[in-house]
Structure 1
Amino acid sequence: MATSNVTTALLTLLVYDLVFLLILFTIVALLSGTKKAAYAVMKRNFVGYFSNPTGYVFLCIFVFLTSVAAFWPYEFFTQNLATLNQLNYWFPLIMLVFIPAITMSIWAEEKRQGTDELLLTLPADDFDIVIGKYMAASAIFTASLLFSQISTFLTLAILTEGQVDIGLIFTSYLGYYFVGLTMIAIGMVASFLTGNLTVGFVLGALFNAPLAFASIIKGVSPSQRLATLIGESGIARPFDDFGRGVISTSSVVYFVLVAAIGLYMCMVLIGRRHWTGGKDGNTMAWHYIARVLALVLIAGGATVFFRNKDIFRQDMTEGKVSSLSPATKKLIRELDSDRKVVIDAFISKDVPEVYAKTRYELVNLLKEFRSEAASRGRELEVNLYDNIELFSDEAALAEERFGIEPVTRMVREKGSTQTKQLILGAAFKSGLQNVTVPIFEYGIPVEYELVRSIDTVASGAKKRIGIVATDARLMGGAVMSGMSMQQVNRHPLIDELSKQYEVEAVDLNGPVSKDMYAALLAVQPSSLAPPQFERLLEAVRSGVPVAVFEDPAPVGMRYITPTGAPKQAPGGMFGGGGGASPKGDIRQLWDLLELDVPGKLNAQNMYTPDLAWQLYNPYPALADSANGMWLFIDNDAPGAVEGETLSSESPITSGMNEVLAIVAGVVEPRPESKFKHTTLLRTGSQSGMIPFDKMSEIMSGQTTIEREVDSIRPQVPIAITIEGEAEGKAKASDDVAKADDDSNEDSSDDSEETVVEESPTTSPVRVVYVADTDLMLPEFLMIRADPDTIAEAKFQFQNVTFVLNCIDWLTGEDEFVEIRKHEPTFASLRMIDSVRDVAQQEVRKRSKEFQDQYDKAIRDAQESVDIRMKDLKEDIAKLQEKNSDGQVSRVELQAKLQRFQTQQELEQRKLDVQQTKLKRDQELKVRDIQRTADDQVTKIQNQVKAAAVALPCIPPLVVGVIVFAARRLRERENISKSRLK
């Protein structure tokens, strides 16, 4: 399968190359038809270069250098990304060697051999000669680049098992091509100035050096503005788009214009013979200098114009890693042009492998933000401090001004566990509004984090959501746990919501109107007291959007009262409260929303919903926990229906892949309901429902799902949205408010107060109902930030995304829902991952064996101690019997007991020593097997390096040897044998 994928990827790349070559051949064909002299010059130089073995030597050197730059740095494997980042960094330096090697003989060789006069007497103008030479050098470079591209692509395709990003590789090499065309034009200027090949090589490198090194001026220039101006005049800025897989008008215009300036200078130099000896020679020289300067100014102005107004900008990457989602572009378009947003991002040079994708995506997106804002004329300034050292001035600036400090992470690299520090944060500012993201965790979508922060500082105001105070205690506080009070910390979900909304606790002691909150979040509303529950119902009727998470059996947060259980009174059984507190009737909410929840009344006359089950678990590491009660809502589950398991009809779940619900209930719409119900989450086909009272037995392993159920019900729904119009009464909120009056107030007076004029009204209902609270456990936020919590599991849960989407859908923040869906895909080194996974599986297998051996040795040692102590125990037992009969003195018994205690302590010390020795031996064995596994991975990496560098050099060397041999044979053809001796 991997071989076929590699072949397919290579054929696709060759199609790209074929189209590109057809364009070039078309240009050459037009040249040969209209400029025959130029075509003749091109053909002569091109054939002459590759008919000489020296040309193949330079080709071999070029391929060798590009392969070393791409694959030899250790960062290539630590980043685990199939990109050309390392080659992008070193490519300008490689070109400073290779391009002068091509251009040094363009004109210098003609002068040295005296053939320049012959060229100048051809029936052709100066343009024909210059463009012919330029096309020849470009053709030589194109052939070399194609060879390098194919060899590099094959290496990446093998490493990724055919899943390489073809668009990224092709676009990067297209960028190399434009860099080469530009440098060739500049190098030709150097060749036209001298007749010495060595001088031509040196001058060619010197003339191109400013373009290659302009980007590093920031580190030495005292003026930041001057450094920025010079830095952006080099090839680094325009090439950066190509290196990230983006073809842009501004980049193409830059390279074309700089190449045009170089070619025009060549035209001036070759044509100077017409006017240098005349009386107006000096005047003409200044005239042409002015022309060149004018061209430079035009090129600079055009580059700046197109950089700010990029007419065409296309992300060619297959994973769209350098694209902004439509919602993000809309946000940038709608930014207030009078309210400037400044982003200061700080990224350290070295980051752990797990953060490599986040770093890559963050840099790409920030650059796209900058480009999109410039094209739209929006005030969005991006200050990107990339590749900074932890002790640099930039790191000090990040800490002192923005509070972005180095974060410590434990990682395993180069065969050992290391503590590494990294900086990967950003600060956002607009006016007086500030937001700081101290660290972009690798599991959180980068674009969402960026857009949310920009929107927060740009808007200057946040929507407000209310967190209903229930047993869930999302805002933190004291809860009843058994017979004592337990302090609950603020739920991390609240911190996540606070980044986007104004979050406020709502106790429902007063009415809630639609204009007070953009939405309410009610987790386990059945635990509310009847007056508060009634106000929640009124809030729903009045049109307040509400997210309801109602769980028949909370597992993770056990202090939450289940739907069908009585609520313990504050103070507990012995704290003065006594008995059960009254609860709201959750069935009233179901009636209001026209929902059916299967279940039955229990002994306390409370309704207990049934529970959903599903026999599907994609994570073997969780086999001991799931027991069929963990519902993996996954499109890959048996019987899952695409677009229904995770509904494609709702923006909340459209595009999502997996959500985990733990011991969830069932919820479905009633037949012929007037509301629009959209089921969000469904199980697969191997699923159904069981009574609540069977849950504890199944979870404890006393029984199984298969034993307890006799029927299967496919596609059990556990989450749903409700939209429509609800009937209400005017002044209903007033009635509820009066229900809280003093209980001793005269009933007749109360009735007088509640008599008001009422009229039927309708209000829009917008509710999300989820029959599970464990779906939002804090652990899911931890997994979201660190998906590799359990390395072998590689969790893909999108629970946090689901919850946030529910809130955003209710509040109308649909753009954030769309942005979370925009998840770029990256090509990783799957072959290395496979080797690493196999090695780690072997480590886990052997570690378990060592642990089993250790446990057995400890058991054997304990049994041996017990056997040795058995006789002493029996003697003591006999002495104790005799002592009770007065046959043995107390002193003898005490002595025996002392001896037993001494012997027991001695045996325990021996056991402790043996246990310590066995534990140390086990750790050494585990360390050895881990070292062996790391050696296997390193060995494969070194083999890849050697093959990637050595193998591409063989074909040009072989061809070079053949050309050399053929040339020598031709030279010897007409020479007599006597002269060959």
Structure 2
Amino acid sequence: MALNNVTTALLSLLVYDLIFLLILVAIVAVLAGTKRAAFAVMKRNFVGYFSNPTGYVFLCIFVFLTSVAAFWPYEFFNQNLATLDQLNYWFPLIMLVFIPAITMSIWAEEKRQGTDELLLTLPADDFDIVIGKYMAASAIFTASLLFSQISTFVTLAILTEGQLDTGLIFTSYLGYYFVGLAMIAIGMIASFLTGNLTVGFILGALFNAPLAFASLAESVSPNQKLAAWLAESGIARPFDDFGRGVVSSSSVVYFVLVSSVALYVCMVLIGRRHWTGGKDGNTMAWHYIARVIALVVITTGAVTLFRNKDIYRHDFTEGKVSSLASATKKLIRELDADRPIVIDAFISKDIPEVYAKTRYELINLLKEFRSEAGARGREIEVNLYDDIELFSDEAALAEERFGIAPQTRLVKERGSSQQKQLIMGAAFKSGLEKVTVPIFEYGIPVEYELVRSINTVASGARKRLGIVATDARLMGGSVMTGMTAQQVPRHMLMDELGKQYDVEEVDLNSPVSADIYAALLCVQPSSLAPPQFERLLEAVRAGVPVAVFEDPAPVGAGYITPTGQPKQAPGGMFGGGGQTPKADIRQLWDLLELDVPGRAGMQGMYAPDIVWQQHNPYPTLDDQANELWVFIDEEAPGAGEGQALSSENVITSGLKEVLAIVSGAVMAKGESTLTHTPLLQTGGLSGLIGGDKMQEIMSRRSTIAREAKGLKPSLPIAMSIEGKAVETPAADPEKETTDGEAEPAAAAKPIKAVYVADTDMMLPEFLMIRADPNTVSEAKFQFQNVTFVLNVIDWLTGEYDFIEVRKHEPIFASLRMIDSVKEIARTDVRNGSKEFQVEYDDAMREAQEAQQARMKDLQEEVEKLQTQNADGQVSRAELQAKLQTFQTQQELEQRKLDVRRTKLERDRELKVRDIERTAADEVTKIQNKVKAAAVTLPCIPPLVVGVIVFAARRLRERENISKSRLK
């Protein structure tokens, strides 16, 4: 299967290359038909280069250097992405060696051999000679580049098992091609200036060096504006688009114009024979210098114009890793052109592997934001400080000015867990509005964080979100457990929502106006007092959008009163301060026209049934999860496509998995006038069970499916509700306006609500898993609970664009072959650790049993003496002496046991470290083998061809030599 994928990927690349080569062949065909002399020059130089073994040596060196740059650096395997980032970094330096090696002989060799005069006597003009030489050098470079591309692509295809981004690799090499075209044209200038090959090589490297090293200007120039302009003028900025998989008109125009100017200079240099030494020689020299300067100025202006206004820009990556969501582009279009936005992003040099993908995406998106804003006439200034040291001036600036400090994270690298510090944050500013993201966690969508921050500083105002004060205490507070007050911290979800909304607590001691809050979030409304609950109902009737989370059996927060149980008042000697009035949740169900299956509970209350399901996509959770952990995904048996996570509502459309823990069910009433859409539904192996029956079964450690009666597939546990406006009371005649007429009643808004039969869906642990999906590395959770909750709020408030941005997830190609080796290593470590733990437990049990056996006789003797002492047969002094001996011996045995435990724990840790080290060594060995193969194997074909060419050439030379002279 992997071989088929590799073959398919290679064929797709060859299709790209074939189209590219056909375009080049068409250009050469036009040249051959219109400029025969130029075509003859091109053919002569191209054939001459590859008829010489030296050409294959240079080809071998080029492939070797590109392979080393692409695969040898540690960062390639550390970031675990099938990209050419490392080669992109080193490629300009490689070109400074390879391009002068091609161009140094273009004209200098002609001068050295005296064939330049012969060329100049051909029936051709200067353009024919220059363009012929240029296209020959370009053809040589193209052949070398294609060979390097195929060898690099094959290596990446094997590493990714064929699942790599062909578009990204092709555009990267297309960028190398344009870089080569520009540097060849500049290198030709050096060759036309001298007849010495060595001097031509040195001058070619020197002339190209400013373009290659222009990006370093900001680190050496005190004038930041000048340094920024110089950095923009180099090849790094226009090539960057190609390296990220984007083909843009500004980048193409840059390389074409630079090449054109350099070729014109070459024509001036080859044509100087016509006017050098004449009476107007100096005048003509200044004339051509002025022409060149004018061309440079025109080129600079054109490049600047196209850079600020891209006519064409397309992301060719298959995973769309360099594309913005349509909602993001819409937000940029709607930005105020008079309010520029400044983004200062700081990224440290040493990034852990798990954050490598986030770093790659963050840099890509920041550059796309800048380009998209420029194309739309909006100003987003991006100051990107990449590869900074933790104690550099840039790091100090990030902490002092923006509060972006180094963050410490526990990561696993090279077989061991270690604390690593990293910087990867950004500050956003527009006017007086500021937002800071201290760190982009690798589990949170980067584009969503960027869009939300930009929108916050750009708008200057946020919608207001009301958090209803209930037993859930989302805003924090204290609860009484017996006579002790327990402090409940502010829910992490409030901080997440606070990045987008003005979050306020609503106590419902007074009516809620429909115009104050964009939406209400009410968790466990059944815990409200009846007057407060009635005001919640009034708000729903008035059309205030409401998100309701009502749980029949909260698990994560024990202080939340279940739906069907009475609410205990705080206080009392034993915490039983009596019962307090509690809302009848059925009134809300009637208002929303919902049917919640259940049964009558205690004291006239209603206890909803519990949902169970037989489906667990995480085998490593078998010991913790049970049938009450309801995994909502389309992989569940009997789950219909687009039904488990409804594709009919933007809240769940595109989501993959949500986990509910001990949840209830919610259905629409028959003949309902409102529109109900089930958002989350179970699969086919699911059902309902009463709470008391559930506890009875769980206490017997039996399975619910074995004892439950019948299945109830496709049980909804979340529902969106929409409907027409509820009729409002007639106008009150007693309320008159200033004109003496009765004040008309306000028109009610349509009902808009989401009801979720579970509160554990928003546990803080889910936010931690979202930020760090590798919290449990063996499980690799894919829960999207937080995304679901945020989508619910955004749907209610009308912020649909943010829902779309959250769903826009670029697809990155990882090194699957290395991942599989790592997975095997992790499995070995996990199995070995379990084995060592069993050995430890057995050894400890044996040690404890041996200790008890040694103490048994002494303990029996003490018990016998205690009995005799009670009968008066043994003195108290003798008993005390024996007890002292027993206590001393017991302490001695305990110390022995502690020493044994410490030794066993140390041995266990050493064994675990050894197996982790062995596993890490296996991964390193595979990586080293890949490096060696990727560097050496591509060099073999050109060397073999070079040897064949050399041998054939020697044989041809010997054919015309007499045998007597060969002796």
What TM-score do the two structures reach when normalised by structure 2? 0.97
| TM alignment of 1:263-342, pairs within 5 A | 263-342=263-342
Matching residue of 2:669 = 670
State the 1:869 CA deviation. Answer: 1.5
2:819 is the alignment partner of 1:815: no
| TM alignment of 1:365-376, pairs within 5 A | 365-376=365-376
State the 1:482 CA deviation. Answer: 5.0
Matched AA of 2:541: R
2:176 is the alignment partner of 1:190: no
Percent of residue pairs identical? 78
State the 1:828 CA deviation. Answer: 1.0
- Greater shift after overlay, 590-599 or 483-492? 483-492
State the 1:574 CA deviation. Answer: 4.5
Deviation digits for residues 305-360 of structure 1 (CA, Å, limit 9, x no counterpart) = 11111011001111111111111111111111111211111111111111111111
- Greater shift after overlay, 346-355 or 85-94? 346-355
| TM alignment of 1:360-759, pairs within 5 A | 360-482=360-482, 484-572=484-572, 574=574, 578-700=577-699, 702-730=701-729
Distance in 1 (alpha carbons) for counterparts of 2:396 and 2:864: 77
Matching residue of 2:767 = 781
| Maintained 8 Å contact 1:56/1:956 | yes
Please give the secondary structure, in 1, of the residue aligned with 2:436: strand
State the 1:275 CA deviation. Answer: 1.3
| Maintained 8 Å contact 1:835/1:937 | yes
Matching residue of 2:814 = 828
| Maintained 8 Å contact 1:191/1:204 | yes
- Greater shift after overlay, 418-427 or 140-149? 418-427
Matched AA of 1:384: L
Matched AA of 2:388: I
Matched AA of 2:37: A
| Maintained 8 Å contact 2:168/2:245 | yes
State the 1:383 CA deviation. Answer: 1.1
Matched AA of 2:862: I
Distance in 2 (alpha carbons) for counterparts of 1:336 and 1:526: 45
Task: Indicate how the Cα distance of structure 1 residues 701 and 119 shifts in structure 2: closer, same or farther if over 3 A, else same.
Answer: farther
| Maintained 8 Å contact 2:482/2:573 | no
Task: Indicate how the Cα distance of structure 1 residues 562 and 969 shifts in structure 2: closer, same or farther if over 3 A, else same.
Answer: same
Deviation digits for residues 367-422 of structure 1 (CA, Å, limit 9, x no counterpart) = 11111111111122111111111222211111111111111223333444433221
Distance in 2 (alpha carbons) for counterparts of 1:708 and 1:432: 63
2:235 is the alignment partner of 1:232: no
What TM-score do the two structures reach when normalised by structure 1? 0.96
| Maintained 8 Å contact 2:614/2:705 | no
Matching residue of 2:863 = 877
| Maintained 8 Å contact 1:164/1:827 | yes
State the 1:621 CA deviation. Answer: 2.1
Distance in 2 (alpha carbons) for counterparts of 1:951 and 1:733: 90
Please give the secondary structure, in 2, of the residue aligned with 1:788: helix
- Greater shift after overlay, 234-243 or 628-637? 628-637
- Greater shift after overlay, 882-891 or 237-246? 882-891
| TM alignment of 1:847-926, pairs within 5 A | 847-926=833-912
Deviation digits for residues 731-758 of structure 1 (CA, Å, limit 9, x no counterpart) = 89999xxxxxxxxxxxxxxxxxxxx999
Matching residue of 2:780 = 794
Matched AA of 1:802: F
Task: Indicate how the Cα distance of structure 1 residues 255 and 699 shifts in structure 2: closer, same or farther if over 3 A, else same.
Answer: farther
- Greater shift after overlay, 47-56 or 287-296? 287-296
| Maintained 8 Å contact 1:543/1:764 | yes
State the 1:887 CA deviation. Answer: 2.5
Matched AA of 2:780: K
Deviation digits for residues 406-464 of structure 1 (CA, Å, limit 9, x no counterpart) = 11223333444433221111111111111111111111111111111111111111100
Distance in 1 (alpha carbons) for counterparts of 2:560 and 2:331: 40
| Maintained 8 Å contact 1:108/1:194 | yes
Matched AA of 2:309: K
Please give the secondary structure, in 1, of the residue aligned with 2:412: strand
Matching residue of 1:164 = 164
Deviation digits for residues 509-560 of structure 1 (CA, Å, limit 9, x no counterpart) = 1111210100000001111111110111110000100000111111111111
2:947 is the alignment partner of 1:948: no
State the 1:572 CA deviation. Answer: 4.5
Paired residue total: 960
Structure 1: give runs of 5+ residues left out of the alignment: 736-755
Task: Indicate how the Cα distance of structure 1 residues 716 and 844 shifts in structure 2: closer, same or farther if over 3 A, else same.
Answer: same
| Maintained 8 Å contact 2:722/2:752 | yes
Please give the secondary structure, in 2, of the residue aligned with 1:789: helix
| Maintained 8 Å contact 2:275/2:281 | yes
- Greater shift after overlay, 177-186 or 899-908? 899-908
| Maintained 8 Å contact 1:108/1:197 | yes
Please give the secondary structure, in 2, of the residue aligned with 1:969: helix
| Maintained 8 Å contact 1:480/1:572 | no
| Maintained 8 Å contact 1:729/1:758 | no
Distance in 1 (alpha carbons) for counterparts of 2:834 and 2:112: 75
State the 1:867 CA deviation. Answer: 1.3
Matched AA of 1:650: N
State the 1:701 CA deviation. Answer: 5.7
Matched AA of 2:599: K
Distance in 1 (alpha carbons) for counterparts of 2:723 and 2:733: 24
Matched AA of 2:347: I
2:791 is the alignment partner of 1:805: yes
State the 1:579 CA deviation. Answer: 1.9
Matching residue of 2:739 = none
Matched AA of 1:67: S
Deviation digits for residues 611-635 of structure 1 (CA, Å, limit 9, x no counterpart) = 1111111112221222111111112
Distance in 2 (alpha carbons) for counterparts of 1:658 and 1:489: 28
Please give the secondary structure, in 1, of the residue aligned with 2:642: coil
State the 1:573 CA deviation. Answer: 6.0
- Tell me how large the CA RMSD over aligned residues is: 1.7
| Maintained 8 Å contact 1:469/1:505 | yes
State the 1:760 CA deviation. Answer: 10
Deviation digits for residues 928-961 of structure 1 (CA, Å, limit 9, x no counterpart) = 1111111111111111111111111111111101
Deviation digits for residues 22-71 of structure 1 (CA, Å, limit 9, x no counterpart) = 11111111111111111111111111000100000000000000010011
Matching residue of 1:739 = none
Please give the secondary structure, in 2, of the residue aligned with 1:624: coil
Distance in 1 (alpha carbons) for counterparts of 2:257 and 2:134: 15
| Maintained 8 Å contact 1:408/1:421 | yes
Distance in 2 (alpha carbons) for counterparts of 1:274 and 1:247: 41
Deviation digits for residues 275-310 of structure 1 (CA, Å, limit 9, x no counterpart) = 113221111111111111111111111111111110
| Maintained 8 Å contact 2:732/2:743 | no
Distance in 1 (alpha carbons) for counterparts of 2:957 and 2:297: 52
| Maintained 8 Å contact 2:595/2:668 | yes
Picking from 928, 939, 943, the partner of 2:914 is 928
Task: Indicate how the Cα distance of structure 1 residues 674 and 495 shifts in structure 2: closer, same or farther if over 3 A, else same.
Answer: same
Structure 2: give runs of 5+ residues left out of the alignment: 735-741
Please give the secondary structure, in 2, of the residue aligned with 1:578: coil
| Maintained 8 Å contact 2:732/2:744 | no
Please give the secondary structure, in 1, of the residue aligned with 2:782: coil
State the 1:604 CA deviation. Answer: 1.8
Please give the secondary structure, in 2, of the residue aligned with 1:342: strand
Distance in 2 (alpha carbons) for counterparts of 1:406 and 1:90: 28
Deviation digits for residues 845-902 of structure 1 (CA, Å, limit 9, x no counterpart) = 1111111111111111111111122211222222223222222233332222222222
Task: Indicate how the Cα distance of structure 1 residues 171 and 482 shifts in structure 2: closer, same or farther if over 3 A, else same.
Answer: farther
| TM alignment of 1:120-135, pairs within 5 A | 120-135=120-135
Distance in 1 (alpha carbons) for counterparts of 2:696 and 2:951: 84
Please give the secondary structure, in 1, of the residue aligned with 2:910: helix
